[in-house]
Every structure is written in structure tokens, then in C-alpha cells.
A = this chain, B = another copy of it.
Amino acid sequence: MTRTDIARRVYNHTWKLDPIIRSLLDTDFYKLLMLQMIWGLYPHVNATFSLINRTTSVRLADEIDEGELRAQLDHARTLRFSKKEMIWLAGNTFAGRKQIFEPEFLAWLENFELPEYDLRRRDGQYELTFAGRWTDTTMWEIPALAIINELRSRAAMKQFGPFALDVLYARAKAKMWAKTERLKQYPDLKISDFGTRRRHSFLWQRWCVEALKEGIGESFTGTSNVLLAMDTDLEALGTNAHELPMVLGALATSDEALKAAPYEVLQDWRSYYGGNLLIVLPDAFGTAAFLRDAPDWVADWTGFRPDSAPAIEGGEKIISWWKSRGKDPREKLLIFSDGLDVDMIIEAYRHFEGRVRMSFGWGTNLTNDFEGCAPVPTDGLKAISLVCKVTSANGRPAVKLSDNPEKATGDRREIERYLRVFGEEDRVAHAVKV
């Protein structure tokens, strides 16, 4: 006999908040790696992060209730690293290395809390900014994005009854599983989850990660999500992000210093990490300029993560550059992570197979692909291009040029100055979908 569990039912129907972020580990691993470096080398730098919705046709402030957004952000601010989490961070092996985090850093992290936020509405969008110490504000990027993306999914699903929801997830699961079956045909294709920030929801990301674990086995190399890595015994993956050269660029007091900033970042990084973590992110101010001006030692690093040029074109340029510096690309690693779908992954894999080591960081199309899944057509489940970028450091404007002008951020006049400093070589606009 089926008997309704009254307590469970009452709880489900009188819930106050279904927190999206329930752990400070529910973030990308690279944030923790960068955080340790920022904490060690730039503890007094202020950095402001701002939400940027590149999909301007989606009016976030109309879709997402401000009260719910504030409740989620406020809840995230109540979180602290738990004892279990601290022990795991101290005891786990990351990137093949034990004790990657210094005891002093962990002692500081133990008291970490997300700083205040500033939220306003303007023209149907949210202006969400995080101002303060770089060590604090940097940690908002992933939870803020995950919160907004999940609130948007929830808003879209409010119209669905239980059967429509059942069908929605059934289709999404079938779709996701079909992707794993395609990827399974390439046993040496290494893939990982990079989808935290753009995920449909936490539970859906977890499902996708567990599905990949079962579906492609050893080919699934891990997840960027630290919480999921801990909970599902996967490798926590990630290295560094654009905020490092962007902040150092902003802090540079001359064009000369600005030009040196991308390499200064690498030296900073090298003072903390080695091995597989020595991955260059070359496109902050244009990959062509970066490669052109790079000191030789950059070619000694383990690999590159081209993040804004088309995968094959971008990869070829790096391979040529390695060769020009006397390196064998087969010993090098390319990590692709820009707006990948299965077709692009397979195409790039087949193109470069045998010529270079590769890894694919699969993001939005992994954790937020509900196209064709909703029983009732809705744009609300379509992933958008939402980022949270550093916009100033110590009061000076921060800029990202990118290889794709569509992904550039920053003040227009500063962008022009950066373009004068770094040049415009190879910058080609591509529509940014996600």
C-alpha cells in the first residue's frame, strides 16, 4: 500500500529555500589554486568582479525574482568550509601532488566567507558586483554564475507539471547518454567536466558527471567541481584563468609593464605549482601577441589552454609555435575548453590525434543542454553566455582582449590602448553562443 509520507510532503511544500550553493567547495578547482597564489603574492590587491550577460536578449531581471536571487546570494555568504572539507583539501592528492595547499593558506581558508555583494536592476538586467580584496571577491565568480543560471532554470520550469518535468529530464538524460555513447567510440579521447558555472542545476551536473563516469569510464578524467570531485572520488581539475593576467595588466603602470604582465603571471604561477598545472592560458590579450613575445622558458611548460580561437586553428598555431621553439608537440598538452560540443570535440580529437596530447574541458553543452527536451517550448532553458569578470584592480580598469573580439571585456578606451600595446593579429570575431 502506498501511503503518503505526510512529514516529507509538508516539508516539500513549505520549504523556505532550496539552496543552490551548499558548500564553498561547490566551485571550480582553479579558483582554489589561484586563490592560494593571490593570497600569497597579492594579499592587499583589491579586485572588483562584475556579472556580464553577453546574451543581452535575455532580460535576466525579468526572468529571475530579485528576492530569490538575494536569498541565494545571502545563503552562500553563510557558508564556511566544513571540517570534513578542510581535511580533504589538506589530505587529498591534487594533480599528482600531496599537500598542494600550504598549511598557512588552509588556516586562512578555514575562516573564509564570501564578501558582500552589490545588486541593482538596470534595463531588465542585474548589475551584480563584488568589490573588495581580490582574495575574497575572486571566490564569488563560480557561485554567482551557478546561482543565476539555476534560478533561471527554476523560473523556466515553474510552468511545468510533474509529468512535463519527468519528460524533460528523461529526454535530457537520453540526450546526454547518446553523447557518452558517441564519445565512447574514442577510448583515448580524454574528457572532463568544466560545466559548474553554466550548469542547469547542481543535481543535473551531478547526474551528468556520474553518467560520464559510468558511460566512458577511464576516458573521463575528472571534474573542475571540487565538491563533486570529493563526493564522487574523481580528480579535481583546473589550472588558472584570465583574471590573473587581467589583474596584473590593470596594475601595470606603463605599457612596458603591461606587455610583461602575461609572463609575470606565469612566473608567479611557477612559484606555486609545477607539472600538469603548468598550463598556459595565452589569449587574455591575444594569443598571437602572447606567442610572439613569449620568453623561451614558456615553451617548457606542460601545455596550453587555447580558450577563444576555434579549436583546430588555435591548436595548430600553438603547435607551430612549439615547433619553432624546438619542442615536440607530442610531449605537450592542449586543453580545449571553449564552447565545446560533441561534434567539435570529436573533430578536434581526430584532427590532432597522434600529434599532440589533448584534453577536453566540456562545459555548457555538458551540463546545460536541454535543447529539444522541454515538452512545452521555452527559451528559459536555453543556456546563455553569462560571465563574471574582473573589471578593475586597485581602482584601475581591467581588460580582456581575447582572440575573439566578441569575448572582449572592459572599458572601450582601455581596450584600444591594450590593442595598441599587444596588436590585433589573428583576432577574428566568432559569434559567442555560450
Q: Which residues of chain A have a CB within 8 Å of any CB of chain B? A: 3-4, 6-16, 18, 154, 157-158, 160-162, 165-166, 168-170, 201, 203-204, 207
Contacts and interface: CB of A to CB of B under 8 A. Distances in A.
A12 B18 CA distance: 10
A70 to B, nearest CB: 18
A11 B12 CA distance: 9
A158 B16 contact: yes
What is the total number of copies of this protein in its complex?
Answer: 2
A157 B201 CA distance: 27
B201 A11 contact: no
B6 A201 contact: yes
Central interface residue in A7, A13, A170, A204, by most chain B CB within 10 Å = A7
A154 B10 contact: yes
A166 B8 CA distance: 7
Contact of A8 (B160, B162, B207): B162
B203 A166 contact: no
A6 B203 contact: yes
A6 B169 contact: yes
B13 A207 contact: no
B7 A165 contact: yes
Given A10-B160, A10-B165, A11-B160, 6 more contacts: A6-B207, A8-B165, A10-B169, A12-B15, A13-B154, A14-B160
Nearest to A16: B158
Central interface residue in A10, A169, A203, by most chain B CB within 10 Å = A10
B9 A203 contact: yes
